Chains A and B, each alone.
Chain A
C-alpha cells in the first residue's frame, strides 16, 4: 500500500507491505453466496477459486465467507462440486 509521511527521503513516496488490510467491496454485490454446511464436504475448491480471497478455512476445515470482501461473482457456487453454495439476490435496500 502507498503510504505518506513515512519516508526518510524528502519527496520519495513509498509503498509499504507492512501496512496490512483488505478492501471493502461488499457494496459491489447483487447476489450473495450462501454455503449449505449440510452439503459441504470441505473440499476447499471455493477457497482456491474465490478471486477475492474472501473465503477462509475454519479450524474444522469448513469454508467461511467474509462478506466484507465478497463481490458476489458466483464462481464459488458455480465450481462447488456438491452444489452447496447458492447465490441469493441481495435486498434492494
Chain B
C-alpha cells in the first residue's frame, strides 16, 4: 500500500486528521501553541477542502459549549485548546461527559499559569483528568494524525460514546517538523463512516435526549456505570488500534506501548514526546548490558492497570518520569496512579518518581540516561528518595541597561519594531503617573511591555480583567485610597470586545470607578493575528483567510462605543495614537471622573499593528491618521451622555487610501470596497446626527 507523505508540524498533522475525518463542526479559540491547528483547519475550510461549520467563538467557555451542543445534535465535532483555555473550559468539559458527546479535543500542552510559560507540561490537562473523558498522549506527528482518526472511531463506538482528549506536547510536537503519511480520504471514509448519534437533540429524529438531571439516589449507580463504560473502552481501544493497523499499516499498542521490555528487570515509564528521548537513553543503557525497558503510557484515562501490574510482576525496579507536579501529594501524576494500582497487590517493587521538564524545559537524553541508572540502582533496595526533582541551572538574560530618562516605561522592549501599543502604553502611564495599578489581560503588551514599566503591572486572566480591577479598586476604596491610586486596564481588543466583555459590562453597571483602556489592533495579535469581534469587515486574518470559499472576515466589527453608552457610564471615548494631545486630554478626563468616584471611564484607542496588518513599520502613525481622516476610526467622546466628534475632517478621505497600504486588505474587490465605504459613510452620518441631537436620551 503506498501512501503519500509530507513533512509537517504536529499541529498540521492534527488538522489533516480533522480534514480526513470529515469533521462537521469546529468551534475555535486561539491559544499558543495550539493555534496553528485551528489556522490550518480554517485554511482547509476557506479553500473548500473541508466542508465544515467553522465557528469563531468569543472565548473557550463558549467554544467548549459550542462543541458539546454540536456533538449532542449529532455532528462530528472537533476543537482544540490548552493551558488557560482548557482551564477556562473546565465546567463545560465536565458537562460533555454525561451528554455522551464523542467529540475529539486536541490539547497542544502548555503549562497552566500561575507561573506562566508557553512551553508544555501537563499542569493543564491534569485537572481535567478525572472528569470521565478518554485521555491519550501522543509521541510523534504521525501519531497525531493517526490518533485523531482513531479517537473518532473509539469515541463514536456505542460501547463507549465518550469525549476524547488527545494530548500532544506543545512546541516539541505542535511546531516541529516530521514526516507524516497521509491516508487517502476514500480509505478513511470506508473505515470511519459518518457519525450517527443514538439520541441527537433533534426532535425530527429522536424524542429522547441525554439527561443532566438525575436524582442523588442514582448518582452512585450512574457513576459506577460510567466507570464500567471506561473500562469497556479498553477493549474498543485495542480493537481500533488493531483494525487501523490492518487498514493503514500503523498501530501503536493500544493502551500502552512497550519498548524493549521482553527480558527487562527494570522499567522507565514515560508519556508524550519525552518518550523518543527515553528510547535513546534505554538503547544506550541496553548497549551497556543493562536490562531496562520502557513503558509508554498512551492512554491515561482509562488507566492501563492490567498492563502495569503485568510488567510490575516482571521487573525489580520502576521509575516514572512526570512532566507535572500534583501539589500536596508529594509527587507527579503517573507516579501516584501507578503506586495506587500496585498497592493492593502482592507486588513489592520500588517505584521512584522523577519530576522534570516543567514549564516546557527540555528533558534531554542525558537526563533520562541518569534517571535510568538510578532506576537500575534501586533494584532490590528500599527507596531513599521517592521523588526527585530534576531541575537545571538558570541562565539569566542580559541585565538591564542603565539610561537617563524619567518616563514610566523603560526604553527598549521585546515588541515589534514600530509597535503602536508601546506608544499608547507610555502615553497612558506618563499621563496617569506612578500611582497607577495596571491590570493586564494576556496580550502582546503583557509579553512585550509588562517587564519594562515602572508601575505595578498585574497579569489578570483573559476573561476577568475588569473583575481583577474591581477587586483592586474595592480594596483601595475600603482602605481610603480610592482617590490616590488609579486602576486601569491595558487590554487588547480580544480582551475587551470578546472574552472580556462580560466582566467589563458587570463593572460598568456596578459603577466601579476604574479606567478601562483598550488598545485596539483589530485582531488577536499575541497569538498570531486571529480575527476578533473588532476585526473590520473583509480583513484577512489567520482564522479568516482568503481562499476559494472565504474572502476575509464576513462580519462587521462591534460598536463598543454604543455598547458602553448603553451602560450610561460617565465617560466614553475613542482615541488614536496619531492624535496624542487628544488622547492625553481623554486620559486626564478619565482620571478625573474615576477619582471623583463617578463610575467607569472607557477609553478605546486605535493601534495600527505593523505585523498584523502588514505594513511598513515606519507608517504606524501615518496609517492611524488615515484611519481617522477617512472616517474608518472616528475619534469621539460621550461625556456624561453628550456625544461629540473630536476630530472632524472637512471632507472624509476615501477609505481606499487607508486600506491600500495594508496587506490584510489586498484581496478586497471594488465591490467589497464599495460596501466598506457605504458603512463608513453611514456610520459617520449617524454620529453627526447623534452629536446634533445632544445628550443621549437614555442617560
> Could you tell me which A residues sit within 8 Å of B by CB distance?
1-2, 4, 13, 15, 17, 19-25, 28, 48-54, 56, 66, 68-69, 71-75, 77-79, 87
Contact = CB atoms under 8 A, between A and B. Distances in A.
A68 B403 contact: yes
Contacts of B619: 78
Interface size range of chain B in the complex: 35 or more
A22 B418 contact: no
Contacts of B451: 1-2
B417 A71 contact: yes
B690 interface: no
Interface stretch (B68-76, B260-268, B393-401): B393-401
A23 B417 contact: no
25 contacts: A2-B451, A21-B402, A22-B403, A22-B410, A23-B398, A23-B400, A23-B401, A23-B413, A23-B414, A28-B417, A48-B423, A48-B580, A53-B426, A54-B412, A56-B404, A68-B411, A69-B412, A73-B417, A74-B616, A75-B617, A75-B618, A75-B621, A78-B621, A78-B622, A79-B622
B115 interface: yes
B65 to A, nearest CB: 35
Which 3 A-B residue pairs are closest in the complex by CB-CB distance? A21-B400, A74-B618, A23-B412
Interface string B380-414: 00000000000000100011111111010111111
B618 A73 contact: yes
Contacts of B621: 49, 75, 78-79
A24 B398 contact: yes
Nearest to B610: A73
B416 to A, nearest CB: 8
Given A69-B403, A78-B621, A52 B412 contact: yes
Contact of B410 (A2, A4, A20, A72): A20
Contact of B412 (A1, A68, A72): A68
A50 B415 CA distance: 13
A17 B455 contact: yes
Given A74-B418, A79-B621, 18 more contacts: A17-B454, A19-B400, A21-B399, A22-B412, A23-B401, A23-B452, A24-B412, A25-B412, A49-B423, A51-B418, A51-B419, A53-B412, A53-B422, A53-B426, A69-B403, A74-B617, A77-B618, A87-B618
B456 interface: yes
B652 interface: no
A23 to B, nearest CB: 3
Interface string B593-628: 000000000000000001000001111111000000
Interface string B223-256: 0000000000000000000000000000000000
**Among A25, A75, A79, residue most surrounded by chain B Cβ atoms (within 10 Å):** A75
Centre residue among A24, A52, A71 by max chain B CB count within 10 A: A52
A6 B658 CA distance: 50
Interface string B666-678: 0000000000000
* Residue from B400, B411, B427, B616 whose CB has the most chain A CB atoms within 10 Å: B411
Nearest to B396: A4
B634 interface: no
Nearest to A79: B621
B423 A51 contact: yes
Interface string B452-480: 11111100000000000000000000000
Contacts of A4: 394
A54 B401 CA distance: 12
Nearest to A24: B401
B332 interface: no
Given A23-B400, A51-B423, A56-B404, A17 B453 contact: yes
Nearest to B426: A53
A1 B418 contact: no
Contacts of A22: 400-403, 410-412, 452
